[in-house]
């Protein structure tokens, strides 16, 4: 028994010795200093191997940086987000302040323009940027059989309404040049059409584009719905031809002038007559108005221009032309332009009874030597609140003028060739084009006849130089 136990112990020692021999010899314990030097050398070796075999890529560096950025305490994160939010608020407030400042500037500019406009001192400097139109760009619209006598442009500049001695009214599309509607007159009048039976001499459209008014030699004023050309009302009361019509700007109050030497006031919206004003000593040939409750008229052979103050029922009388004053147009609330058959064109200020300036023989002379007569001024037009004026005659051209020196100078810009009597002129509201109504005869008579002329509507584009498109409000006298 004792011998067997001894043998088993011996076998265990042999097995453990064999196992140790398989894994290696038993490591000899090194001194402490030598062991540290071996560890340093091993770490250096590991660093060199790591550096050579696994270089850091840019992606890995970015990941490390991102981990460093994300690695923040909750308090630091809250602080960072709060700073970011405050920065966003600051930027939004700065942008809002800039927008408000721009809006204030725009409002201030608009208010200043409105004040200058009401005072009649707003004058946009456009003349210096205008260029001579190319003759090839002038569009000619044919539709009336007899001479055109009057025309208007709709407030949105999309449509033109014209009338003629053939008693018809035509609505034109400006862009396409096509006829949109024809109101027949003369012998073609029916009870349904309510057209004119005599020469139409005057026309006006309300500032909102709702109503169209026309006046004829039969003493009648017709009111139409401009959009559909449907007849609405007929105003009677004048005792002679209705030679001038104008709506007060921003209202449906209508002023009419007649060869019976009177001015009448109507309320179109209520289909009502308001009052009659007297003063001219001869037939009234033209009438115009803007936003004030007053109108201006030209008095033909009585040689006067009159300003009618409706509420006060009073009038101001101006003298300056030698011949019959045949046409008149307001430039702004304080200035106007007139033309006469003595060939002169005059600029007026409502505060002075004499013209501020006058150009004699504005369109030259006609006739044989020794028998020269100035060309009659048959129409005038003004681009509202600007320094541009146009005049028409039968001198084969329409003239454009610049009102300079606080309306104390009238300087010629250029001539636009047009053959025939220029019986009506109107600028578009934007100033992008000028419309001329051409006839073989004068609108009020048959003193001459120009056979080579065409009874037509001419649309003249007004081009502006790129450098001079800005509109500068300046105060006129």
pLDDT tens for 161-189 read 999 999 999 999 999 999 999 999 887 67
Tokens representing residue 291 in the block: 């936003």
For residue 406, the model assigns a pLDDT of 83
Hey, what long-range contacts does 464-471 have (CB within 8 A, 24 or more apart)? Answer: 464/126, 464/129, 464/130, 464/131, 465/129, 465/130, 465/131, 467/129, 468/126, 468/128, 468/129, 469/129, 471/124, 471/125, 471/126
What was the pLDDT predicted at 223? Answer: 96
The answer, yes or no, to whether residue 118 has pLDDT greater than 80, is: no
Cα dihedral sign, 166-172-177-180:
negative
Q: What percent of the chain has pLDDT over 70?
A: 78
Taking alpha carbons only, the member of 192, 131, 137, 6 closest to residue 414 is 131
Question: pLDDT-derived band of residue 70, with 50, 70 and 90 as boundaries?
Answer: low
Q: pTM to 2 decimals?
A: 0.74
Q: What residue has token string 């419309």?
A: 435
Is residue 438 within 8 A of residue 151, CB to CB? The reply is no
Say how far apart CA 459 and CA 134 lie, in whole Å: 12
Nearest to 218 by CA among 159, 258, 268: 258
What mean pLDDT comes out for the span 204-230? Answer: 95
**Reduced to 3 states, what is the DSSP secondary structure of residue 322?**
coil
- φ/ψ (deg, to 5) at 472: -110, 115
Cα 358 from Cα 373, distance rounded (Å): 18
pLDDT value at residue 48: 44
Average pLDDT of the chain is 83
Q: CA 426 to CA 174: how far, in whole Å?
A: 13
Q: Look-up: residue for tokens 């927008």?
A: 99
Q: Give CA separation, 222 vs 52, 130, 188, 233, 280, in Å.
A: 102, 37, 17, 6, 24
Q: How far is CA 24 from CA 8, 16, 246, 248, in A?
A: 25, 12, 123, 120
Q: Give the number of residues written for the chain.
A: 477
Start-end of H helices in 54-131: 58-70, 74-119
pLDDT at residue number 289: 95
pLDDT of 6 higher than 60: no
In this model, does residue 134 exceed pLDDT 70?
Answer: yes
- Interval 320-357: pLDDT, tens: 898 899 999 999 999 999 999 999 999 999 989 999 99
């Amino acid at each position: 028994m004792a011998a067997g136990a001894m043998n088993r112990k011996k076998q265990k020692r042999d097995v453990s010795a064999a196992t140790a021999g398989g894994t290696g010899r038993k490591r000899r314990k090194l001194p402490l200093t030598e062991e540290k030097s071996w560890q340093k050398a091993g770490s250096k070796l590991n660093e060199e191997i790591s550096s050579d075999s696994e270089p850091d890529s840019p992606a890995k560096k970015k990941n490390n940086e991102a981990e460093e950025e994300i690695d923040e305490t909750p308090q630091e994160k809250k602080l960072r987000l709060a700073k970011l939010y405050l920065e966003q608020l600051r930027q939004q407030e700065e942008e809002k302040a800039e927008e408000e400042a721009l809006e204030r500037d725009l409002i201030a500019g608009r208010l200043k323009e409105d004040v200058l406009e009401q005072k009649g001192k707003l004058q946009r400097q456009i003349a210096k940027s205008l260029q001579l139109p190319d003759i090839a760009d002038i569009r000619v619209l044919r539709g009336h059989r007899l001479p055109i006598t009057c025309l208007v442009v709709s407030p949105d500049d999309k449509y033109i309404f014209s009338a003629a001695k053939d008693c018809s009214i035509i609505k034109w599309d400006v862009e396409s040049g096509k006829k949109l509607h024809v109101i027949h007159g003369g012998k073609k009048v029916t009870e349904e059409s309510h057209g004119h039976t005599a020469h139409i001499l005057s026309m006006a459209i309300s500032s909102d584009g709702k109503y169209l008014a026309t006046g004829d030699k039969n003493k009648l004023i017709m009111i139409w719905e401009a959009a559909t050309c449907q007849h609405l009302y007929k105003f009677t009361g004048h005792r002679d031809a209705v030679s001038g019509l104008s709506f007060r700007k921003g209202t449906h109050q209508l002023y009419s002038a007649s060869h019976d030497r009177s001015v009448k006031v109507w309320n179109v919206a209520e289909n009502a007559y308001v009052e009659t004003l007297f003063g001219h000593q001869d037939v009234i040939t033209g009438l115009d108005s803007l936003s004030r409750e007053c109108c201006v008229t030209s008095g033909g052979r009585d040689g006067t221009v009159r300003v009618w103050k409706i509420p006060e029922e009073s009038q101001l009388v101006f003298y300056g032309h030698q011949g019959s004053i045949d046409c008149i147009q307001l430039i702004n609330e304080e200035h106007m332009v007139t033309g006469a058959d003595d060939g002169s064109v005059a600029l007026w200020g409502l505060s002075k009874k004499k013209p501020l300036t006058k150009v004699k023989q504005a369109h030259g002379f006609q006739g044989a030597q020794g028998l020269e007569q100035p060309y009659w001024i048959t129409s005038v037009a003004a681009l509202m609140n600007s320094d541009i004026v146009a005049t028409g005659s039968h001198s084969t051209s329409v003239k454009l003028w610049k009102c300079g020196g606080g309306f104390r100078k009238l300087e010629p810009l250029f001539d636009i060739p047009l053959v025939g009597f220029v019986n009506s002129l109107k600028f578009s509201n934007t100033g992008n084009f000028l419309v001329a109504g051409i006839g073989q005869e004068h609108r009020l008579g048959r003193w001459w006849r120009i056979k080579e002329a065409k009874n037509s509507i001419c649309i003249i584009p007004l081009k502006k130089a790129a450098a001079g498109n800005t509109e500068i409000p300046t105060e006129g006298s």
